[in-house]
Every structure is written in structure tokens, then in C-alpha cells.
Copies of this chain bind each other. A is one copy, B any other.
Amino acid sequence: MLKETIKVACSSCNLRELCMPVGLNTQELIRVDELVATRRTVKRGAALFHTGEKFTSLYAIRSGFFKTGITTEDGRDQVTGFQMAGEIIGLDGIVNEQHTCDAVALEDAEVCVMPFDRIEEISREVNALQHHVHKIMSREIVRDHGVMLLLGSMRAEERLAAFLLNLVQRLQARGFSKSELVLRMTREEIGSYLGMKLETVSRTFSKFADDGVIAVKQRNIHILDADALKRIVNVPQCH
């Protein structure tokens, strides 16, 4: 039974190029397969972890879709990211040994649980893993800086266009269509992530649709003119 849940080793997982370092030898592969202690399923709407919970592990998403976000005492909240298969969540918890955000599944999901002390232990022996962990954290930092750019310097249309392009690009890397996507999150969650109100998100979708750039049918988005979206993102703030 337990065996059943950990049947697929990292070394034979189809997401391994996303989560794992490449170019390992047999010996190293065996070590790295020990990273994943267990699997865990998370139902839609449930949290993988909450702010304040003790940090013990990083999680590699095997299937499903998550949002992470912070909530302040005064009720403000901010979605800090949307994560899909192959991505790693929980990095925020390392510094203070407790999570600083909530991770909530936006659809039924399964994650690989990687105890962080085990990651550190195996990292000392497998150089490629050590470097891989550093790269994952650095990538998250670079991503965050990109979000700052978006929030700090783009107008609503630019933000939403950038958001759609980013999503579709990540989906494409996972073998999905580069023109069709299903949003797993509400307009409000998109708005929280992009620093705008849900009404503005809705209006902006409608405008893109009016302009023939996308077709919107609830959460199904069809990108009709990707170049137009790219042009919207790149329009320099004129005047």
C-alpha cells in the first residue's frame, strides 16, 4: 500500500527534468530517489500548508495547480504565485523554520514531500543536487523580481497580457496548447496576484475579447493573437 503511493521514483518520473538535476550517474540517481519521503494528495480548496505552520519539507507538484499567498493581520492579502506540475513550493519556510504563506490547491493535486533535512544531507553528497537547489531558489528570486516589475511599472492591460503569456508559456512547456488555456483561479485571485480589482480583471478580459486578441468563455481562454498580447506588454508607457 505504502509502496503503491511511492511507486514512481523520481528517476523514472516524467516530470524529472522539471524538478530534478540532469546528468546524474546511477549512484547519484539512487541517492536522489531517496529525497521523496511520501506523496500527499490535496483536494481542491484545501491547503498544503498554512502560514505559521512548522516548516519541514519542500513539495514538488506532481499534478494539480496551487496558489500561494500571504494574509496580513489587518486583512490585506496578496497572491504571490500560481504553481503547476514540476514546480517546487515551500521555499519561503526555510528562513524561519515556519511557512510565511498559505499554499492552496486550486484543483485536486498530488505533491511529492521532500523533507528539507534530507535535501540538505543528500545535497552534501551529490553536487548536482546541491547546485540544483540553489538554482531553484535563485529562479524563484528572479521570478519575484519580474512580478515586482509587473506590479511596479505596468498598467492593468499590460499586467494581464503578461500574465496570460506567462501562463500559456508554462503550460506549453508541459505539453499543452499554446493558444488554449483553462484558468484554474477566479478573477479575484488573478486580481490579487496582479494588484488589481476583480472588476478590472473582468473588464480587461472583455476589452481583449472586443479587440479580438483573445476569446473568453468563463475560465476558458483562447489566445487568438499572441503577438498582439506581446505588443501590449511591450508598449512603453507613452508620453
Chain A contacts to B: CB under 8 angstroms:
70, 72-78, 80, 91-96, 100-101, 120, 123-125, 127, 130-131, 133-142, 144-149, 151-154, 192-195, 234-237
Q: Are A77 and B153 in contact (CB under 8 A)?
A: yes
Dominant secondary structure of chain A at its interface with chain B = helix
A121 and B19 CA atoms in complex are apart in Å by 22
Task: Choose from B80, B93, B194 the contact partner of A138 (Cβ within 8 Å).
Answer: B93
Q: Are B152 and A193 in contact (CB under 8 A)?
A: yes
Q: How far is the CB of A210 from chain B (nearest CB, A)?
A: 25
A154 and B70 CA atoms in complex are apart in Å by 14
A72 and B235 CA atoms in complex are apart in Å by 11
Additional pairs, 13, CB under 8 Å, beyond known A80-B149, A123-B130: A74-B236, A78-B153, A91-B137, A92-B142, A94-B134, A94-B138, A124-B125, A134-B137, A137-B138, A137-B141, A148-B151, A151-B152, A152-B192
A-B contact pairs, 19 of them (CB 8 A): A73-B234, A75-B236, A76-B149, A76-B153, A76-B154, A76-B236, A78-B148, A78-B152, A78-B153, A91-B137, A94-B137, A100-B142, A101-B145, A123-B130, A124-B124, A144-B144, A148-B151, A151-B152, A152-B195
A147 and B80 CA atoms in complex are apart in Å by 10
